[in-house]
Structure 1
Amino acid sequence: MYIKEQYLYMKNQNVKAVVRNYEQKDFAELLSIQKDSFPPPFPPELLWNEKQLLNHITLFPDGALCVEIDGVIAGSITSLLVNYDQELPKHTWEEITSNGYITNHDKYGNTLYVVDICIRPSHRKLNLGKLLMQSLYETVIHLNLQRVLGGGRMPGFSKHSHGLTPEEYADKVISGKLYDPVISFLLRCGRNPLMLIPNYIEDEESSNYALLMEWRNPFL
């Protein structure tokens, strides 16, 4: 079981954030947050359903975390364990997460793979995404795993695709010359880029690309 309390600053006052494992009683709020966090053109079929959420808390509750502000769920992060082979790095989101159902969760895996992270738009100035990502890093250390790994969407690419290749866009974001809502956030969370993956997920804004990024356990 995971629980962490931390004070954050919002609107000239400190507010308490609580990170904990999400449960079945939270499903309605989690589904609502998904809809608010990923509006069109994000494919609606990629939003969570109750069967997926039930699998998350049944197959790997350690990887199913949410954050509350004043008793209201403001965001969540979900992960599974995989045995990642660096010699075969390319994959799709659907393949490595069993289309979000995590039925391929490997309790002996060496890598914590991020399935999804979403934050209520009304709470995004609180850096809750970073707080949840740090909670996964703590889980990696607790479980003695090698890394956190995941593919980052590149939603900002749609504004630059007429003049830049996906590789050029990623390089400019990594160097800080361009800002991307997802990749720039992951860099600030301590994730390091590994490689671009084409056809990673159906995502018009990213031209279906994702940047594979990792955080390595510093104690291994």
Structure 2
Amino acid sequence: MMDKQMYRHEFSVFHEDKPVPAVIRNYQQTDFKDLIEIQAECFPPPFSSDLWWNEEQLSNHVALFQEGALCIEIDGKLAGSLTGLCVDFNPMHPIHTWKEMTDNGFIRTHNPHGNTLYIVDIAIRPKYRKLGLGKMLMQAMYQVVIQLGLERLLGGGRMPGYHNVVKSVSPEAYVASVVNGERRDPVLTFLLRCGRMPIAIAKEYLEDEESHNYGVLMEWKNPFN
């Protein structure tokens, strides 16, 4: 892999046809309070506050793999984050859980010699969600994949719309209908729009009532690899 380099990209987003200054950069310790606040806004009750980032997890993100710790500012206000780690992934044996891959968000499983950048979490403040910030952060992480010479970006997507049809539709059929454009899912459709493609469905991937604990493993392959 190449030497560690910090990420910073300044650009504009448009709100009601007006340009607003934006920055994607690596987050650091001074951002921790805002990052935890973002988690609280994104995952309000009935989500438990135990599921939000804590300072130990965030400290590990910065210390172990700061290249994979990205945040986005809108007009100077922290609006979202995207976190990843490196793993050695074997596509012949893809099934795993979020907890075992990410060390429950503490990323002590980070492997600096891994072949894959694995997404741990993405969170965007609700008030900014119509600006396309999630897709911008994902594209920034693709650039990290290329910069580090990794094979792919990978992560497990929730399928929160599945609970509406679970009694009549298998998880495989549900995912296929989203991929074919016959159905929209808040998470899977977003990931498809980001260029991610499903490679497997993992049972008991994450405790998630809406998805009935399924996760869809979705990758983006490095086009230069």
Q: CA deviation at 1:202?
A: 0.5
Alignment partner of 1:141 out of 146, 153, 172? 146
CA distance in 2, matches of 1:124, 1:168: 28
Map of 1:15-34 to 2, 5 A cutoff? 15-34=20-39
Unaligned runs of 5+ in 2: 1-5
- Closer/same/farther in 2, CA of residues 111 and 65 from structure 1, 3 Å limit: same
Aligned to 2:3: none
Q: CA deviation at 1:87?
A: 2.1
Find the residue that maps to 2:179 and give its secondary structure. Answer: helix
Find the residue that maps to 1:77 and give its secondary structure. Answer: strand
- Residue deviations 1:19-38, cap 9 Å, x none? 00001111111111111112
Q: CA deviation at 1:43?
A: 4.8
Indicate if the aligned counterparts of 1:94 and 1:201 stay in contact, CA closer than 8 A: yes
CA distance in 2, matches of 1:212, 1:14: 35
Indicate if the aligned counterparts of 1:36 and 1:120 stay in contact, CA closer than 8 A: yes
CA distance in 1, matches of 2:213, 2:108: 23
Q: CA deviation at 1:12?
A: 2.5
53-62 vs 10-19, which deviates more?
10-19
Aligned to 1:14: 19
Aligned to 2:113: 108
Find the residue that maps to 2:210 and give its secondary structure. Answer: helix
Aligned to 1:152: 157
The letter of the residue matching 1:205 is E
Structure 1 stretches (4+) deviating beyond 6 angstroms?
none
- Closer/same/farther in 2, CA of residues 3 and 73 from structure 1, 3 Å limit: same
- Residue deviations 1:148-178, cap 9 Å, x none? 0000001111222232121111111111111
- CA RMSD, aligned part only? 1.0
Unaligned runs of 5+ in 1: none
CA distance in 1, matches of 2:206, 2:49: 13
Indicate if the aligned counterparts of 1:42 and 1:204 stay in contact, CA closer than 8 A: no
CA distance in 1, matches of 2:159, 2:51: 16
CA distance in 1, matches of 2:65, 2:208: 26
TM-score, normalised relative to structure 2? 0.95
Aligned to 1:122: 127
- Closer/same/farther in 2, CA of residues 11 and 133 from structure 1, 3 Å limit: same
Q: CA deviation at 1:101?
A: 0.2
- Closer/same/farther in 2, CA of residues 165 and 41 from structure 1, 3 Å limit: farther
The letter of the residue matching 2:217 is L
Aligned to 1:163: 168
CA distance in 2, matches of 1:189, 1:14: 22
Alignment partner of 1:66 out of 61, 65, 71? 71
TM-score, normalised relative to structure 1? 0.97
Aligned to 2:7: 2
Aligned to 2:43: 38
The letter of the residue matching 1:65 is L
Alignment partner of 1:207 out of 184, 193, 212? 212
Q: CA deviation at 1:72?
A: 0.4
CA distance in 2, matches of 1:146, 1:208: 27
Indicate if the aligned counterparts of 1:19 and 1:65 stay in contact, CA closer than 8 A: yes
Aligned to 2:193: 188
Q: CA deviation at 1:9?
A: 1.1
Aligned to 2:61: 56
CA distance in 2, matches of 1:143, 1:171: 32
The letter of the residue matching 1:86 is P
Identity %: 54
CA distance in 2, matches of 1:16, 1:147: 30
Aligned residue pair count: 220
